[in-house]
Chain A
Amino acid sequence: MIHEHPLKILKHAKNSIWLLIFPILRGVRTFSLDFDAFYTWITGGWFDLLVLIAILGFGYFRWLFTWIRLGNNHIRVISGIFVKKRTEIPYKNITAVTAQHSFYLRPLKAVRVYVDTAAGALGTNDMTFLVHRDEFKKLQKKLPKIKTGEKKSFKYRAKWYNIVFFSFVFSSSLSGAVYVAALIFNAGRIFTDIMKDDLDDMYKIADNVSRNMSAGTHVDIPTPALILGFIVIGTWLLSFLANLFRYSDFIIKKDTHIMRIISGAFTRRVYHIMPEKINYLDLRQSFITKLFRVSSLNISCSGYGNGKNELPVLLPVLTRNQADEALEMLEFNKYLVKRKVKPLKTSVMSYAGQPLTIVAVILVLSLIFIRFFPQFAHIAKYIAVILEIPFIWLVIVKLYAYMTTGITVEDDFCCIRYSRFYAFHTIMADRSKLVKIQMFQDIIDKKTGRCRLDFYFCSENPRVHKVKGLSVKDAQKIIEQFGVLEKGEVMDEF
């Protein structure tokens, strides 16, 4: 049986901090510049001291009544003075154990430990405690060890430029931030010019703006637009720095029993992940990285990357060869196979239809606006073009997605390639990890014999993987392969 780190007393004491209201009230009551009043306040100091002792006492007793027991088969945390709470997690059910060495806890040799299983409330850790580093080592001994030098073990250290590139690309959508900032700066500038000058000078303004934009000369931008633009860029910059510090010095070590991920500059995090508890691997790419054959490898595992501002990244930036190598080391190389089931040739519109419609709607709306408000034609054109670009880009992405989407179900695994907004995903999972499969048809799909398949895999945060434009026949075959339907059973008869 072990106690938490004594620092926890302060954390527990924090809950009784409201008791300080009494010394404050006493101080307010006796507050005066008079010496006698000061003397009265000082002589009553024993009361304030008593309250402080009570606050620390509550913290101490809560700490004293909290125990951690590392049994042979399970870890148990017992807490509570009057109401006893006892949480018990068997080692075999642990999916991830995270040790967080915050920079302010390191000198005190304290480690914050998070224990997770596949169950529990969304986005929360199943067990959390603060212990001395030596006590954490005892828990580490209970987890499967990394045996270096074994045939199936490997170690990967991400290069610093990979981390910078990864943080740059995945920091709250770089392209989105730059785009919004540019929109705000330029829209603000054009709007100011319109307001300043007469309507007759509209064409001159347009010429000036275009000349200034190309020459890079100084143009007045209204302060609100400037502030908004800087907020957007500033937010992205903060996200970029946070990611850079979080993923700096990224190391991954893997053995057949356990995988250890170490990362972080100020706060060092050590994740111990049980490989057999990984729900699926997700090879993520954007359109540009797909063209350059670069990807990042993410995993779905309870306890890793589920927190706020966390990305479930396993290997940040990989070239095609590195990705193949990494998958081989993770024993997932056989999962990456060519697609056997592809979308129907007639289903192009299932992919490009929605963004194309938005492109057309923006165009029509801007034309109507210009017709009724010709004095704002220039800014309307500018905003229309700015809004059109991401959707035209989305049309290109979706057309490419149509050419790369597909599903393969082999003996005991599956490989699903699909696109979600601008991102391309390749999901590699064991067939047994599938929890739900859903066939979706709208009226047009029903008439043309097409459908969409939605896949749900075991995961703490349920996420759907949608593959559009499949023929009903192929979809039923896939469902049969997953063992959901018996041979001869037809999905649309239910």
Chain B
Amino acid sequence: MKEYYADKTCLTVMRIAVMILTVLIISVVSYFLAFIPIIMIIICSVFFIAGFFTALVYLPVYFRNMRYYISDKKIVKVSGFYFIKTQTVKISKIQYTTTVSTPFARLEGFNCIMLYAYGGMLPIAFVSNRDFTEIAYNLKV
């Protein structure tokens, strides 16, 4: 059974993206709500806390917990932030697959493999490009 982890480059890109988005929202809010400072401060604080919590706490912990175990017979996905969820799918029960890859996947690792089995779908996301190619190749259902 081989173990795969979420790509750290992807984590960095996502953290930067969340921070930029937070700064942008705060700028827009402070520009348009400058005439009611109290509401502006409250909304900006909420976005600041949410953005920085996501970038500095949630995403690192989520990425640290995320891992995949793949064998000839089954795939196990472990993920979650506070509550850890373990999902297992038998490879023989997978009916079809969909892979999604972005243009700079080689650099930032934004890849996803959706495994469609009886009664549900299991996404394998945020794996490095090398792992993505390897998993997609091995999962010839």
Contact = CB atoms under 8 A, between A and B. Distances in A.
Binding partners A and B: yes
Interface of A: 82-90, 93, 117-121, 126, 458
B102 interface: yes
Given A117-B116, A118-B118, A458-B118, A85 B98 contact: yes
B101 A120 contact: no
B53 interface: no
A126 B118 CA distance: 13
Contacts of A83: 100-103
B69 interface: no
Contacts of B118: 118-119, 458
A356 B123 CA distance: 50
A300 to B, nearest CB: 14
Nearest to A117: B95
A84 B96 contact: no
Given A82-B103, A83-B103, A93-B141, A119 B98 contact: no
Interface residues of B, number: 17
A117 B101 contact: no
A120 B99 CA distance: 14
Contacts of B95: 89, 93, 117-120, 126
Interface of B: 94-103, 116-121, 141
Nearest to B117: A119
Contacts of A119: 94-96, 116-121
A118 to B, nearest CB: 6
The 7 A-B residue pairs with the shortest CB-CB distance, nearest first, are A119-B95, A119-B116, A117-B95, A89-B96, A87-B98, A93-B95, A86-B99
Contacts of B117: 119
Given A119-B120, A120-B96, 4 more contacts: A85-B99, A90-B96, A93-B96, A119-B94
A117 B98 CA distance: 13
Nearest to A85: B100
A68 to B, nearest CB: 14
A277 to B, nearest CB: 10
Contact of B116 (A82, A84, A120, A458): A120
Given A83-B103, A84-B100, A90 B141 contact: yes
A264 B14 CA distance: 51
A117 B96 contact: yes
B98 A84 contact: no
Nearest to B99: A86
